[in-house]
Amino acid sequence: MSVLINKNTKVIVQGITGGMGRTHTALMKKYGTNIVGGVTPGKGGTEQDGVPVFDSVSEAVAKTGANCSVIFVPPYLCLDAALEAIDAGLPLISVITEGLPPQDAVKLHAAAKLKGTLVNGPNCPGIITPGECLIGIHPGSIYMPGRVGLISRSGTLTYEIGLGLKQSGIGISTAVGIGGDPIIGIDQIVSLDLFEKDKDTDLIILVGEIGGTAEEDAADYIKANIKKPVIGYIAGRTAPAGKRMGHAGAIISGNKGTAESKTKAFTNAGVKVAMTPSEIVELVKAHVPATV
Amino acid sequence: MRLREYEAKELFREAGIATPKGIVIKYAEEIFGVENFPCTLKTQVLTGGRGKAGGIKFANNADDAYQKAQDIFKLPIKGDLPVAILVEPKVVIKKEIYTAILIDRAYRGPIIMASSEGGVEIESSENIQIVPIPGGNYNPYLGRKMATKLGLSGKDVIKYGNIVNRLWDVYTKYDCDLCEINPLIVDGDDNFVALDGKIVINEDALDRQPRFDGMLGEHLTDLGEREFRGKMCGLNIVELEGNIGILCNGAGLTMATMDLVFHHGGKPSNFLDVGGGASKSHVARALDLVSSDKNVKVLLVNILGGITDCVEVANALKYYKETRPEANLVVRLVGNNEEAAQQIMNQAGIPMTNVLDEAVKKAVAVAA
């Protein structure tokens, strides 16, 4: 088992004929993801990388039985693509696109909420269940299968931790890259809840960063609802206030969103907080024997 | 991108929100074209707190106004000199209100935020009222709801509601992160008038807002030399005060690397996220940008190649080392195409590690 995606997930790629879409369709296929189709309006009937391309999401779903879409379309076309996927009834969509204007993000998440669609992202690396399914842009070889659940706002920092774990012989059940934007779909709390219920996850790593109050909210949730051990990390503890640190959401505004406040919230909730990425691996080792 | 007051008010007027009938002057001499006195002279800068800093003055006649305009043009506000002065007739103020529409993370969408104490910094107000706009789906009753919360009644509810309706139009039409009127006043004729305005356009949306084409460069404020140059060439850099130049890929990893430098006793000179899938020339530009600060003693490069090809990075580093043999480079390069990159680095004589902590400790030692 795992969360959100597994070997039975049937994936379509929206924007499959664009640069990002082509590159990552090939990589996802190589990893073993069951890519059943792609969507690029106007290119229906063609093939990309041996995958049939459709003009619309509903057609792709009808013909392939897809239950997940990963979206690689440019920012200003992204809302339309995501709304189409939501409308077609897909239960899970992953929006990799970076730079979606916030007002579009609001509309996207409002539509998803109405329909009960789970939206991963935007501005995220996607999700990977090692050995089974990869949606998005995670470098698959960096993770090994195992029993640690990984939740992270960052892409490359997630890879860093996945790699460190692998080098110590520790694998993960699923890594959920939730995304670096201020407004995201599947957040820390949704992911925590999924991992708590997953019988093949023993421990959860929560990688946060400065900005917003999502980590504080997650800490409250952990205290009340999560019984599995959680290890936390906050990136940006030395970031200056008022500066956007790469991610649209990584900014300390006034006195809100500081690493101190997040660390304190984690500690109060019984979450062990690592000060460096390598310390995360050490803390995991203390819980999990280095055999999987 | 933050607009100046006069630019914000232009958008307000187009949307039907009343503002005082002002004129914008770029030279003090233009003040002699003003007919209505007493008047208010307001410096047009991009920073807050201009009133306290002496950037807003009242004048009773043309000579008085001319003198004051000359003073204002010479007065920098937090380092920012005015591009213009907005001259407006002095108005009668019966009431001052704060009103804004902004996107709020906690509500996961836009909210109306208001206070019956206008004219002050909203952070210091104890009477902040909030009306969320559910799902970003605005309807006029929300503006009226806020009016009631502010204690308005009768016709004022309609008048205030109309202001919020129009503010919403501006907010959506121009992809704003913030549309603020502070203060929104009730004047001597009981009309609602925007006495000051602040609009922030979302930068990710600028490419679909042709009205603001080419305006970003002269609307950047509070940026260091490298930050300004980075912005102009699509590199995400934040200036810090240390001597270890940092170049990483991915915002989270870059922050973690910066934190790790501090953790091991060093001081980063900057945050620079070179982004995903960077080409040789993009990385080369980033190396130049980071090392353009004289204080940088060592460059710490930490790349975890997912979509980034380590060979592109290695080629940029090789070129950099050839052109600047004296530069100190500490390089950690892992992931996509790592082995080929290792060969290029060997040829170039640049030592490389695949352990992050080691790389950081080494950079700290070189910089000490």
Q: Which residues of A touch B251 (CB under 8 A)?
A: 154, 180, 209, 245-247, 250
Residue A90 φ/ψ, nearest 5 degrees: -65, 135
Contact predicate A40/A84, CB 8 Å: no
Given CB atoms, is B262 within the 8 Å cutoff of chain A? yes
CB contact under 8 A, A102 and B103: yes
For residue B172, the chain A residue with the least C-alpha distance is A103
CB contact under 8 A, A137 and B276: yes
Give the C-alpha separation, A162 to A155, whole Å.
11
From B136, B252, B262, residue closest to A154, measured CB to CB = B252
CB contact under 8 A, B202 and A76: no
- Per-range mean pLDDT, top range of A148-152, B119-123, B220-224, B291-295: A148-152
Q: Which two tokens stand for residue B351?
A: 């030592």
Given CB atoms, is A181 within the 8 Å cutoff of chain B? no
> Which residues in B163-193 are b (16+ Cβ under 10 Å) and which e?
bbbbbbbbbeebbbbbbbbbbbbbbeeeebb
Q: Which residues of B touch A243 (CB under 8 A)?
A: 238, 271
Helix (H/G/I), strand (E/B), else coil: A55: coil
Give the pLDDT of residue A288: 66
Structure pTM? 0.93
Mutate to test the interface with B, among A238, A252, A253, A279 (most CBs of B within 10 A): A238
From B123, B251, B356, residue closest to A247, measured CB to CB = B251
CA of B33 vs chain A CAs: smallest distance (Å): 41
CA of A63 vs chain B CAs: smallest distance (Å): 31
Contact predicate B320/B284, CB 8 Å: yes
Q: Enter the ipTM.
A: 0.93
A92: confidence class by pLDDT, cuts 50, 70, 90: very high
B210: confidence class by pLDDT, cuts 50, 70, 90: very high
Give the C-alpha separation, A232 to A249, whole Å.
18
Across the strands, what pairs with B18? none
From A101, A152, A249, residue closest to B175, measured CB to CB = A101
CB contact under 8 A, A239 and B108: no
CB contact under 8 A, A239 and B276: no
CA distances, B44 to each of B5, B66, B76, B170 (Å): 6, 16, 10, 21
Give the pLDDT of residue A1: 65
Q: Which two tokens stand for residue B158?
A: 């309609």
Work out the average pLDDT over B338-348. Answer: 94
Give the C-alpha separation, B357 to A164, whole Å.
11
Q: What is the pLDDT of residues A152-207, one digit of tens each?
A: 999 999 999 999 999 999 999 999 999 999 999 999 999 999 999 999 999 999 99
Contact predicate A153/A212, CB 8 Å: no
Across the strands, what pairs with B100? B113, B180
Which residue did the predictor score with more confidence, A59 or A254?
Answer: A59
CB contact under 8 A, B255 and A239: yes
Q: What is the pLDDT of residues B52-61, one digit of tens each?
A: 899 999 999 9
Give the C-alpha separation, A90 to A81, whole Å.
12
Work out the average pLDDT over B212-236. Answer: 87
Given CB atoms, is A118 within the 8 Å cutoff of chain B? no
Least confident of B21-25, B122-126, B246-250, B309-313: B122-126
Q: Which residues of B touch A238 (CB under 8 A)?
A: 258-259, 262, 268
Work out the average pLDDT over B109-123. Answer: 85
